[in-house]
Every structure is written in C-alpha cells, then in structure tokens.
Structure 1
Amino acid sequence: MTTSKPLVIVTRKLPDPVETRMMELFNTRLNMSDEPFSRERLQSAMQEAEILVPTVTDKLDAALIEGAGPNLKLIASFGTGVDHIDVPAAKKKGIIVTNTPGVLTEDTADMTMALILAVSRRLVEGEKLVRSGKWEGWGPTVMLGHRIHGKRLGIIGMGRIGQAVAKRARGFGLSIHYHNRRRLHPEIEAELEATYWDNLDQMLSRMDIISVNCPRTPATFHLLNQRRLALLQPHAIMVNTSRGEVVDEDALVQALANRDFAGAGLDVFEHEPEVDPRLLKQQNVVLLPHMGSATIEGRIDMGEKVIVNVKTFVDGHRPPDRVLELDF
C-alpha cells in the first residue's frame, strides 16, 4: 500500500456517521443514490479500487474477482454473511476478505422472537382485520392463535444468533432444543438448558417451533427440503431469519398451501428481492423485507467494524475479521 490515502469504493449508502468517518480516513467514493451496482459497475469498481466495501446485495463471483485490478487487495464486506463472495477465488487472487461478525446478533434474535410471536398469535392478520374496518369486537373464538409457553423450540444453527434466540426463548417459557454441526460446550448447554440433536430429522419431527439460524453454505443449501419440511408436525411453525437459500422455497410454498404445517415467518427469501407470488397469497405466513438486522445501532456497529478492518489493513496489520476458507 502507498502512504497516500487508499481509494475505497463503497457500493451502497451507509449510515451518515460511518460515511463521514470513512471520508476522513480514506480516499472514499460513496454511493449517494443507494442504487445497487450493476455487474458492469461492480467490475469497474473492482478494477479501480484498492479496497472495496460491498454489501450482501453485491454478488462477487469468481469471474468478477478474477477480473479485478491489481490494486484491489481488500474486500471489506458490510455484513456478517459472506455467501455473496467467492472467498476461495479471492484468496487465489491475493485479496483479503473481511466481514462484520457479532454486531447483529441481538437484533436478529429479537426479530426471530418477533416472528415466532407474530405467527403463533396471528398478529399480522389481527392488524389487517382492524384496518379493514370489519372487526366487530371481542369474541370468545375470534382470532385464536397458539400459546408459545411450554412449547418446544428447535434451533437450527446454534452460533451467536442461535444462542441469543435460546436465551430469549427461555424467558418465554420455551423448551430449547438444537441441531448444530458441532455440539456446544457442556457449560453452554447447561446454561441454556438446551437439548442437542445430532439427527436433524429426529428433531424436526418433534418440535412445535423451528427457527432457522444457520449460515448459508454449500452444506446448508436447501437444508430444509421437501422431505424435511414433511417431517414437521401439523401444528408446528417455522421461522427463518438466516438466509432464504437454506429453505427450498418451492417446497415451502407447497407445504404452506397444503397446510402440511401451521405457518411460517420469513425475513429472507431464496431469490430476494423477488418473492414467490404464491407466498404472497398465503394467509399462514408472515413476510418481512430482510429487516432482521435493520436497527440504527446495528448498522453503525457494522460500519465501525468495516472501518476497523480497513484501517488495520492500511496500517499493515492483519484485519481482525478476516474470513478464512475454513470458516465454511
């Protein structure tokens, strides 16, 4: 790196405090319109920049990375997941990839619980009923949902977010169960009062609520496929605040339409921002626009992590949030 300020190109509009600090520290080019970069614009930015700050909406595949200019040495992603970046291709090209882990844990866990409550207690349907002007007052059988206290919650992916969900769920009186590629340390298990299931199929068939909190990796693509969705009990609900690709959306639509299980809460979609039109017609699903991490505090924390990663790299040190291939 040269002693002059490096050229940092940011692909989306970030919170003002983050952009201001980046302008102070680096030769920063911002995206004031917040219009997502086209593939051609991404390629141009990667040929010119020394540091690229993309988001989850930027798909940096092997071809784009291979076409990057010789000055691009760091991709400091604004986000926790890196499934939008071909990390092995970046490593081959000599480009370091960083992300912003840990800062969205509490926000995403909050949204997971919100979806569990929204689906179980039919909150969206109730709100629509009031707005429609058709509500005729309280009645013994009006808008009946299901109690979550005393139910079994099965968490798929017991990392930071999964554990934060478990802590909240215990406060609601839920029994905690989980499936993870690695079993938690016994002390953490005991603290969460969590039951480990090595066999995902066995857990799915016994839970009242399923929460998807695992990352999107080749191993988790369509982890909940048609066969596994069929294992859910008729009264069960499923919420996903992770990545849309973890659930086979076509199979999910069919299962919801057939009432194979009671309902779902989705903050992510397999082909977002496109949403399957058939999902929009289902009354037993709550749909949100990927807003699980959308808090002012969380976004600023993400930006500060990006700045730390970039500044550390510019100063000639190892960025603290470097993504390694073994993370996959």
Structure 2
Amino acid sequence: MSIRILATSSLVGPYIEHLGLRFPELCVTPFRSPEWTAGLASAEALVVLLSEPLTEEDLERCPNLKVIGTYSVGINHLPVAYCRQRGIRIVNTPGVLTDATADLALTLLLSLTRRVSEGEALVRSGQWKGWATDLLLGTGLSGKTCGILGSGPIGRAFARRAWAIGMTVFFWDREGNQPPVDFGVEIAERLPLDELLPQSDVLSLHCPLTDTTRGLLGRERLALLPRGAFLINTARGGIFDEQAAMDLLDEGRLGGIGLDVFDNEPTLNPGWLAAPRTVLLPHLGSATVETREAMSRLLCLGIEESLRTVGRAASREA
C-alpha cells in the first residue's frame, strides 16, 4: 500500500487514529526509521514533532508532498523557503498552547524568585530545622519591571500574568516605532532593546527563533540587565548566549535563570547542570493534557483539510 500520510507519532488523544479512518493510507513510524525513509516516496503529507527537523534533501525524496504538519507553533525546524518554493503547505498549532506556555513561564519565574527548588531540596534532605527569619529569602516581584521579547499571543498572555502580580510591563520594539501593545488589561509601551534591558528586573523571552533573533542577546546585551535580574526562556534556545548568561550568573550579575528550552536540545551545555540559581525544565511549555489534545486536533484537521483541498483542486483541473 502506498503511504499517503507519514507520521512519526500517534500524538496525544485519538486524532491521528481518526485521521487514519478518513485516510487509510496512514503510517505511524519513528522518525528516520527505514519505514519512514521508504514512505517518503509516496507521502502526500508528513507529520513531525518539533524535535524532528526536516531538510531540503528529505523533501526532495517526496515528489508528491502537499503538506507538512508540525506538532508545534514554531516552524524553525522546517525548510520554510523551500516549502514555499514548492507550494508545500505548512500546518502548525498556534493559539491553543498560549495559556499553557505563559503559565509555565510564570511558574519558572516564581520558582526562581521564591527559591522553590532549594526549599523542596532542603525538606527532602531531612536537614530542615524549622522556620527561621533568614531561611531562603527570595525576591518580591510587585513593583518590579518586566521586559518581554515578543508581543505575540504568548508574550501578551505572560504580560497579563506579570501585570496581575504587580509588575510594570514593557515590550521589545523589534521593528522600530511600532504602536504600544494592548495585552488585554493594559497597554504597554514598546522600547528599543538597549533601552528595555537596563530597566528589566525580569526579562522573559517569547519571540520566535529567526535570523533576526538568533544570538540576539550576546554578552554585551545581557550585561545591560540590572544586577540581580531574572531571565526566563520558554521560546527557543539560541536567542541568547548561554555561556555568557552562565558567566553572569556565576559573577552574581544575574539573580537567576529559568529555562524550558535550550540551544541544541536535548543536548545541554554541561555548565547548566552545575549552574546556581537556575530552574531547568525539559521543554514542558505546552505539556498539559488539554493543550496537547487541542494541538493534535488542530493539526489533524489542518492535514485533512489540506489534502481534501488539493484533491478538489485536482478534480477541477481534470
């Protein structure tokens, strides 16, 4: 049987199975397995995860390819320009993971500022001797300033959360002279990056990884943050210089770093494992049952609609 839809995972929920009822020529097999590689020749649709980058060489082996579905918002793991050139549609999952990712960014921030990991480790160690006036003193957030890189849905959702705990919010003006950001409960000013950073007691990253944002925060720019600032990243690895951030952390210039994403993940810079004042998570931004099921549904509906649209167009041309 020719494979029409080639997927690398069954995803969360029943939606891949439902898609298979509509398109029986569906095959679920691990990424780059022999069966996956063989299926490229006939595949009209590919379904991949964020951790499964496709190359132009992969797509050159797919003469019938009409659509790629990625179980993510980001598409930086796909050869977007090549897809555009060939007319291959890309289906992703925007919108449905906004609140889950913003919640996780806030979780990282509160875990850092209230030293949650250290507190839990102390209790579990059996060494806790009881309440003390100076035990694991953290940092309050009310009245502080939060700089946000990225004014899309997730950045705005995080802004609402930061505002709710009493922070003043500013956004990075990526393109210059853009209007203020209405994030639902207030309107926040946009600032050039070199003006935003020195004011940001908290800097939270919510921008996509692009040619513009890759390496955006090098050593010099990170050093512009106020002493004791907290850096949160639930966007993509590669936006800031990880080694420079660790150096500033060791020097006491940064108050803490919370990461859900890493450069070259899942391979980590080993320095993170020993870095003080960090909370490190394994890319859990969208990891709720409700969100992952909604992502599966959106992705599979997009694949189905794309294939049916192509089929109708082919019928009209015939």
Task: Tell me if TM exceeds 0.5.
Answer: yes
Query: Do the aligned partners of residues 178 and 76 (structure 1) sit closer, same or farther apart at CA in structure 2, a change above 3 Å counting?
Result: same
Per-residue CA deviations over 1:192-216 (Å, capped at 9, x if unaligned) read 231220x101111111100000001
Counterpart CA distance in 2 for 1:96 and 1:265 is: 35
Counterpart CA distance in 2 for 1:279 and 1:297 is: 31
2:42 pairs with 18, 30, 48, which one?
Answer: 48
Counterpart CA distance in 2 for 1:215 and 1:207 is: 20
Which residue in 2 is equivalent to 1:127?
A: 120
1:169 pairs with 162, 187, 191, which one?
Answer: 162
**How many angstroms does 1:108 deviate by?**
0.4
Counterpart CA distance in 2 for 1:40 and 1:173 is: 54
Counterpart CA distance in 1 for 2:161 and 2:310 is: 38
Which residue in 1 is equivalent to 2:137?
A: 144
Which residue in 2 is equivalent to 1:192?
A: 186
Letter of the structure 2 residue corresponding to residue 107 of structure 1: A
Counterpart CA distance in 2 for 1:148 and 1:51 is: 47
Q: What's the % identity of the aligned pairs? A: 36
Counterpart CA distance in 2 for 1:174 and 1:98 is: 36
Counterpart CA distance in 2 for 1:159 and 1:209 is: 18
Per-residue CA deviations over 1:44-76 (Å, capped at 9, x if unaligned) read 4433311101111111122222x2221111111
**How many angstroms does 1:103 deviate by?**
0.9
Which ranges of structure 1 fall in alignment gaps of 5 or more residues? 319-328
- The yes-or-no answer on 1:77 pairing with 2:64 is no
Per-residue CA deviations over 1:228-261 (Å, capped at 9, x if unaligned) read 1111111110000000111111222222222221
Counterpart CA distance in 2 for 1:41 and 1:25 is: 21
1:235 pairs with 218, 228, 249, which one?
Answer: 228
1:256 pairs with 238, 249, 252, which one?
Answer: 249
**How many angstroms does 1:29 deviate by?**
1.3
Counterpart CA distance in 2 for 1:24 and 1:129 is: 52
Which residue in 2 is equivalent to 1:325?
A: none
Query: Do the aligned partners of residues 5 and 302 (structure 1) sit closer, same or farther apart at CA in structure 2, a change above 3 Å counting?
Result: farther
Q: Give the secondary structure class of the aligned counterpart of 1:233.
A: coil
Query: Do the aligned partners of residues 187 and 110 (structure 1) sit closer, same or farther apart at CA in structure 2, a change above 3 Å counting?
Result: closer
Task: Please say if residues 266 and 286 of structure 1, whose CA atoms lie closer than 8 Å, have aligned partners that are also in contact.
Answer: yes
- The yes-or-no answer on 1:11 pairing with 2:8 is yes
Query: Do the aligned partners of residues 103 and 95 (structure 1) sit closer, same or farther apart at CA in structure 2, a change above 3 Å counting?
Result: same
Which ranges of structure 2 fall in alignment gaps of 5 or more residues? 312-318
Which residue in 1 is equivalent to 2:315?
A: none
Q: Give the secondary structure class of the aligned counterpart of 2:199.
A: coil
Normalised TM-score (structure 2): 0.91
Letter of the structure 1 residue corresponding to residue 79 of structure 2: D
Q: Give the secondary structure class of the aligned counterpart of 2:171.
A: strand
1:29 pairs with 22, 27, 30, which one?
Answer: 27
Counterpart CA distance in 1 for 2:205 and 2:39 is: 34
Task: Please say if residues 5 and 45 of structure 2, whose CA atoms lie closer than 8 Å, have aligned partners that are also in contact.
Answer: yes
**Number of corresponding residues:** 309
Counterpart CA distance in 1 for 2:180 and 2:249 is: 37
Per-residue CA deviations over 1:145-198 (Å, capped at 9, x if unaligned) read 00011110000111100000011111111111111425665572684231220x
Counterpart CA distance in 1 for 2:2 and 2:71 is: 20
Query: Do the aligned partners of residues 121 and 315 (structure 1) sit closer, same or farther apart at CA in structure 2, a change above 3 Å counting?
Result: same
Query: Do the aligned partners of residues 256 and 45 (structure 1) sit closer, same or farther apart at CA in structure 2, a change above 3 Å counting?
Result: farther
Task: Please say if residues 153 and 174 of structure 1, whose CA atoms lie closer than 8 Å, have aligned partners that are also in contact.
Answer: yes
Task: Please say if residues 181 and 190 of structure 2, whose CA atoms lie closer than 8 Å, have aligned partners that are also in contact.
Answer: no
Which residue in 1 is equivalent to 2:314?
A: none
Counterpart CA distance in 2 for 1:101 and 1:146 is: 33
Task: Please say if residues 10 and 52 of structure 1, whose CA atoms lie closer than 8 Å, have aligned partners that are also in contact.
Answer: yes
Q: CA RMSD in A?
A: 2.2
Q: Give the secondary structure class of the aligned counterpart of 2:282.
A: coil
1:64 pairs with 44, 50, 58, which one?
Answer: 58
Counterpart CA distance in 1 for 2:16 and 2:110 is: 36
Counterpart CA distance in 2 for 1:146 and 1:7 is: 54
Per-residue CA deviations over 1:103-153 (Å, capped at 9, x if unaligned) read 110000000111110111111111111111111111000010000111100
Per-residue CA deviations over 1:246-297 (Å, capped at 9, x if unaligned) read 1111222222222221110000000100111111101211100000111111
- The yes-or-no answer on 1:155 pairing with 2:152 is no
Task: Please say if residues 5 and 25 of structure 1, whose CA atoms lie closer than 8 Å, have aligned partners that are also in contact.
Answer: no
- The yes-or-no answer on 1:204 pairing with 2:232 is no
Q: Give the secondary structure class of the aligned counterpart of 1:154.
A: strand
Q: Give the secondary structure class of the aligned counterpart of 1:97.
A: strand
